Structure 1
């Protein structure tokens, strides 16, 4: 009998050390499950780059040395935010990153359950105008504007940031997004295949899919989300219950995200190469968005302009389904991030107020021999065999730099240039070039869409579209 009592006592002791939380098997062992999207490269500071550099594991190891608690990080990679939300609802993911529209859906769907309920705790990357989402068509498509898609099939991931932008853009163009086009709900890679095979007329997606397909000569940019002028961003959500049980893990995650953000700012080319390795995306495409002057401003702060944009997205949420009302002011929680800034002796409010891209293109233009000072004009040349990229003060200087590199027999990996109208960074050889007789604006001006070029030509007599080779030859 004494032996049985002793065994029961021992079993009670063991059970007492076990948590009911499946992610926390014992008081001395804590697991955090991270849902991320390796190919959604404006989430890299909370995903692909963060994972590649091991910043979170290092932060947790520092805690473990002080507390003797073992921390285990599990990374789960998804194509969109929807499955991350589903796993958070099932309490199988603790921290996840996704776009603004999926964030709304995440907050709405999870709020009914105390253990599943989430809160938005940081931003990964944003674009103040909305250039993170685009619509592309086949390179041979006759479509020049969104109105040319009327009555056509368009692929989009319903509930994604790309789909939200499509709905806004169609509405602005006077097309009913429900009846004016037929939206096929497809994962990005499925939609890309559908576009290539001619099953759909267009693909509406978030980064990096539009740039990837354009780089591969499988698509042409039809609509730049920056035309809407509405900020778009990706952010980080955490299950509130998990954060309450393990505040040290959330703090370590946010600190690690800031580590990754600083690394990206300091070493953008290396960061792009690391993300390319981890995601399978071409490095040229990653650097298009994540390099200096790219479409993504990597800034973790929860800026009021972004939160206001999130509130303005609510009608979209209502338009695609029956979702519970979400109190966004309660959904957004900046306390943990403020603490992370304070622990680094950094001023959160100063960073919050700063809306400039943290990594503009700077330096001395070696071809035009002038300093690079205007972010709205600055381009960048990536030449094979060079340790660093080469800045260009303006589109004309970039064209001359490409021409010089070609004359020397050097391989140009990529040339990047900002759209004249919207400022969106794009591939120079995929841009629509307009020749202008006005030398004060530069003889050749780049646009990322045909529609943008035509808008400019309509208000500037004497201008005309030329091909890339003509622009290269004519640059002076």
Structure 2
């Protein structure tokens, strides 16, 4: 336990804090300051991947120099934007709304959300996890317990809405600790909190390491969550060419992620210290995060639906969404209206069937491409065949039977129902299915 905690603390220390990654503007160049969150990996097309590949610098040319500033959450990016010290940033939906509302308090500080980075229409980018050996099996068991989250984040919103749905009063029945993701992860590991509600990639990281199990899949709430790109209005008015170049570079990063998802995951892993398998869980083909830039009507409505919650916790008084959401800059970015380009295709080589919406995926050690699995049962057969052939499975991904949320096959709860093997992210979801028998992953592979 102590060794695992020390390892987690080392990782969170390496990932935590704000880092000014750029250099001062060179003589004769104009400085562009970009705020991003390297560990919030569904913003990588406007942050980590964008920076690593140099797409923005290529689009801007030698007239500009880019300063990159890395933060744990969106709040400090907003503070720096209000002070005129960050020009363009990226963050989640709740921080975006707070950003827009704060900006509208003064004509000089107004901001605009100009594009989407990653989203999940069911809300699966946020997850509640507990320790692997925790006796807590359902949200109702959190009564009287301490839960860590980042207050004002979408993960906080998930926690509050999910608790209410489960008949638990989030104000009276649960004590919420307002903590940054690395601190909350350490608190869960040390036993100082009973559960952790957080956004990507912390839940996936903790589960992949064996330091947590999922108590509640955000996809069960079925409330869309998204991340996006925001710019200071004054800066956009003065430098429309830079804003267009940024969005063109974001599209470059998006297309790179679509075309080379494994390589993109490895690049993000190299930059953040996160395991590539965790990054790919969210950002790969059929990943939890969908990467596409348009501000669709569905996502606009999701932002509107978020406003009442933020008002209820006192972090938002009001916002003119029509003035804040502005996709006009995307008109100058060819290809930015494209839908998700990271979808699993092909034919399952083990079952000999084309992949469907419930397709899984295997990533083998030392291989530069992945292998599709037509369905969860076929994936188990592929794992079994790979073991016999001496191929090492680096990661195997399957969609949850109920929500469709992609998860690690070996961290899922399996149900054997007739000739089918069905994966569930949580024990509770497997029990609610109500048929067949619950078995371990190892038993499922053996029986496939």
Normalising by structure 1, report the TM-score.
0.87
Which of 392, 415, 426 aligns to 2:407? It is 426
How has the CA–CA distance of structure 1 residues 410 and 229 changed in structure 2, closer, same or farther, with 3 Å as cutoff? same
Kindly indicate whether the alpha-carbon contact (under 8 Å) linking 2:164 and 2:170 is maintained by their aligned counterparts in 1: yes
Alpha-carbon deviation of 1:110? 1.8
- For 1:87 and 1:324, locate their aligned partners in 2 and report how far apart those are by CA, in whole Å: 21
Of the three residues 360, 368, 371, the one matched with 1:387 is 368
- Cα distance in 1 for partners of 2:341, 2:170 equals 35
Given the alignment, which residue of 423, 431, 440 partners 1:446? Answer: 423
In 2, are the aligned partners of 1:35 and 1:93 still within 8 Å (CA)? yes
Q: Distance in 1 between matches of 2:275 and 2:27?
A: 43
User: What is the root-mean-square deviation in Å for CA atoms of aligned residues?
Assistant: 1.7
Answer yes or no: is 1:416 the counterpart of 2:381. no
Alpha carbons of 1:264 and 1:219: their partners in 2 closer, same or farther (altered >3 Å)? same
In 1, are the aligned partners of 2:26 and 2:65 still within 8 Å (CA)? no
Aligned counterparts, 1:225-374, within 5 A: 225-340=218-333, 344=334, 346=335, 348=337, 351=338, 357-372=340-355, 374=356
1:184 is aligned to 2:167: no
* Contact kept? 2:33, 2:88, Cα under 8 Å: yes
Name the SS of the counterpart of 2:147 in structure 1. strand
Contact 2:292 2:336 in 1 (8 A): no
For structure 1, which runs of at least 5 residues remain unmatched after alignment?
1-22, 65-69
Aligned to 2:29: 29
8 Å CA contact 2:304, 2:321 repeated in 1: yes
Residues in 1 aligned to 2:137 and 2:288: alpha-carbon distance in whole angstroms: 22
Q: Of 163, 168, 175, which residue of structure 1 is paired with 2:161? A: 168
Q: Distance in 1 between matches of 2:399 and 2:388?
A: 24
The equivalent residue for 1:16 is: none
2:41 is the counterpart of 1:60: no
Residues 1:129 and 2:137 are matched in the alignment:
no
1:210 lines up with 2:196 in the alignment: no
Equivalent pair of 1:49/1:271 in contact (CA under 8 Å): yes
Q: What is the SS of the residue equivalent to 2:72?
A: coil
In 1, Cα distance between the equivalents of 2:143 and 2:308? 22
Cα displacement (A) at 1:321: 1.8
Q: Cα offset for 1:26?
A: 11
Query: Are 1:150 and 2:143 counterparts?
Result: yes
2:380 is matched with 399
1:429–1:243 CA distance, 2 compared to 1 (3 A): same
Counterpart in 2 of 1:9? none
CA distance in 1, matches of 2:306, 2:184: 24
Q: Shift of residue 329 of structure 1?
A: 1.4
Structure 1 position 43 matched with structure 2 position 26: no
Scaled by the length of structure 2, the TM-score of the pair is: 0.92
Task: Say if 2:42 and 2:119, in contact at 8 Å, map to a contact too.
Answer: yes
Q: Which has the larger radius of gyration?
A: 1
Task: Provide Cα deviations, 1:391-422, integer angstroms capped at 9, x if missing partner.
Answer: 11111111111111122222211000110111
Structure 2: distance between partners of 1:387 and 1:277: 16
Q: Contact 2:293/2:336 (CA < 8 Å) preserved in 1?
A: no
Aligned to 1:471: 444
Gaps of 5+ in 2: 1-22
How far 1:338 moved relative to its partner? 2.0
Measure, in 2, the Cα distance between the counterparts of 1:397 and 1:309.
35
Partner Cα separation in structure 1 for residue 125 and residue 353 of structure 2: 31
Q: Counterparts in 2 of 1:95-110, with a 5 A limit?
A: 95-110=88-103
Q: SS in structure 2 opposite 1:313?
A: helix
Deviations 1:224-274 (A, max 9, x none): 111111111000110000111111110000000001101111100000000
Distance 1:366 1:219 in 2: 33
C-alpha deviation, 1:115, in angstroms: 2.7
